[in-house]
Amino acid sequence: MMQAVETTAVAGGRLTIDLAAIRANYRQLETQVAPARVGAVVKANAYGLGAVEVASTLAAAGCRDFFVALLQEALALKPNLPTDAALHVLNGVAPGDEGLCARHGIQPVLNSLGQALRWRDAARAQGRPLSAAIQIDSGMSRFGLSPEEVDALAGEPGFRAEVDVRLIMTHLACAETPAAAVNRGQLDRFTALAARFGPGPERSIANSAGSFLATEFHGTLVRSGLALFGAEPAPGALGLLRPVVGLEARVNQVRTVEAGAGVGYGLTYVTMGRTRLATLAVGYADGWPRRLGGRASAWFGDTRLPIVGRVSMDSMMVDVTQLAPDALAEGDYVELIGPNADLDAVALAADTIPYEILTGLGARLARRYVDAAPADGDLLS
């Protein structure tokens, strides 16, 4: 405990994660997609927010379906989940790792005929059926069985007796664009191909954005990641989700420079008049994109502090001339993500997506978890 306090005190930036907001977003999504269930995608350390903390919060709220990308993530998370939770590995299992996956009760998503047959062989070696999910490529050309592989696997003698296929899934390429015709095309292809495995397995089509498409896209289980963490994955989500993340940077230095002073690497910004600058202890090594120099701002209260010059590896400069001379001192904190600039706004300024901002937030940032709301009744009004 002492080490955690010391780390927070000396970090250049602090990241606040609102667990009550994650829980509220989960409840909102449950309402959105009912009667389908909501599963949680907690890959990449829950998009940088802490897989154990986030998954534990969601499990306490009733979530029992979790998805990670890699077996190594699953092995780390499995001991922290309820025994009745299903933990899926989206990328499947690499050749030779089937036994390890099976021994720990982790369910791979079988993405190719080779993966499926190796998992069947692992079941034979274990002397018992092994559960799994199957992914069908319905048109994204990333993961999943092709139509030819679906036919081959569905016709494989005895496969279903040795592999307990509990879930059949696909992934939408353009779910964030509700009017895209490809969404309906993928749904129709998936429905036809999934039928080759019979009516037993559950169906999963929608990610966070897909949760806001028509009901037929929800299947029996939606796989939500970004929406749980407060970003708006699709136009239909506007105003429904609570922000989860706050990011602050510590002030390392405040100085006054005269007109004509160059600022930062390359001297890409030159002051027009006498200017007060604050150097902040967050840079691109902490996941704050370099391209935000000259495009985004920090905030102190409701005062905007433009980022001037280039973002450096460990620092950046902001113009604090608008503040009273004694308003900001070394050791104070300013807002980078928060009420004045949410995750979506920062991503827009960086010409990227909220996923990249979240997953890039570095290990040097001190992470603080808050849970200010009760477990029940925390839906948005």
What are the residue numbers of the active site? 43, 265
Q: What is the mean pLDDT of residues 85-102?
A: 97
pLDDT score for 373? 59
Q: How confident is the model at residue 236 (pLDDT cuts 50, 70, 90)?
A: confident
pLDDT score for 8? 64
pLDDT score for 49? 96
Q: What is the mean pLDDT of residues 332-357?
A: 96
Q: Which residues make Cβ contacts (< 8 Å) with residue 297, sequence separation at least 6?
A: 304, 305, 306, 307, 318, 341
Q: What is the mean pLDDT of residues 238-255?
A: 95
356 in any annotated domain = no
- Evaluate if residue 372 carries a pLDDT over 90: no
- Evaluate if residue 380 carries a pLDDT over 80: no
67 in any annotated domain = yes
- Check whether residue 270 and residue 182 sit in a common domain: no
28 in any annotated domain = yes
- Check whether residue 214 and residue 256 sit in a common domain: no
Question: Which tens digit of pLDDT belongs to each residue from 262-297?
Answer: 999 999 999 999 999 999 999 999 999 999 999 999
Please report, for the domain that includes residue 186, its CATH number: 3.20.20.10
End-to-end CA distance of the chain: 36
pLDDT score for 157? 87
Domain hosting 182: range is 19-229
Please report, for the domain that includes residue 259, its CATH number: 2.40.37.10
Of 229, 262, 289, the residue that ends a domain is: 229
pLDDT score for 1? 35
Q: Which residues make Cβ contacts (< 8 Å) with residue 222, sequence separation at least 6?
A: 29, 33, 36, 37, 38, 39, 204, 205, 206, 207, 210, 211
| DSSP bridge partners of 307 | 318
Number of domains in the chain: 2
Of 321, 341, 361, the residue that ends a domain is: 341
Question: Which tens digit of pLDDT belongs to each residue from 60-79?
Answer: 999 999 999 999 999 999 99
Question: Which tens digit of pLDDT belongs to each residue from 187-224?
Answer: 999 999 999 999 999 999 999 999 999 999 999 999 99
Averaged pLDDT of the chain: 94
